[in-house]
């Protein structure tokens, strides 16, 4: 589990764990009951909650039922992993930093730092001040 314990983070980690578990049984896939049992034992989820997670992933195109077995749509899974967990290996779920690798996001930031690129102050939105009534003040003409 993650260090953070807010609800969204815990839910995200559970869904990623469920997808990795189903993916470990590819190409055969798993029955819904097997996934529900795993989620119950590993995370303490009810069967109904596990079924809801499966349904959400089906609607998102990540999971599909083929011949009565749940299977992971690999290309969609990789896209999801790059968005939800860019700091993890999409195949194993391991943290890239633990494998001695950097995430794509960190690589981009490091490249920008190496080139000496900094944030351009012109790109920042202009701050506007409010008057005593809470309205924005009119721009003063530059002299």
The residues spanned by each domain of the chain are 7-106
Q: What angle do CA 61, 63, 64 make, to 5 degrees?
A: 95
Residue 33 pLDDT more than 90? yes
At 116, is the pLDDT very low, low, confident or very high (cuts 50, 70, 90)? low
> Was domain 7-106 assigned CATH 2.60.120?
no
Average pLDDT over residues 37-55: 95
DSSP string for residues in 16-54: HHHHHHHHTTTTT-B-HHHHHHHHHHHH---HHHHHHHH
Task: Give residue 2's pLDDT.
Answer: 41
How many residues appear in the chain? Answer: 143
Average pLDDT, the chain: 75
Q: How far apart are CA 19 and CA 71, in angstroms?
A: 9
| pLDDT reported for residue 38 | 95
């Amino acid at each position: 589990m993650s260090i953070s314990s807010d609800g969204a983070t815990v839910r995200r980690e559970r869904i990623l764990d469920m997808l990795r578990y189903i993916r470990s049984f590819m190409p055969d896939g798993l029955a819904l009951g097997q996934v529900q049992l795993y989620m119950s034992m590993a995370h303490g989820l009810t069967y109904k909650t596990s079924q809801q997670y499966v349904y959400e992933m089906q609607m998102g195109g990540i999971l599909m039922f083929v011949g009565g077995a749940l299977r992971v749509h690999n290309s969609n899974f990789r896209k999801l992993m790059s968005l939800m967990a860019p700091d993890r290996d999409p195949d194993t779920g391991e943290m890239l930093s633990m494998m001695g690798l950097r995430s794509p996001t960190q690589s981009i930031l490091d490249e920008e730092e190496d080139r000496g690129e900094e944030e351009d102050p012109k790109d920042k939105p202009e701050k506007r001040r409010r008057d005593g009534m809470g309205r924005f003040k009119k721009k003063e003409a530059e002299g």
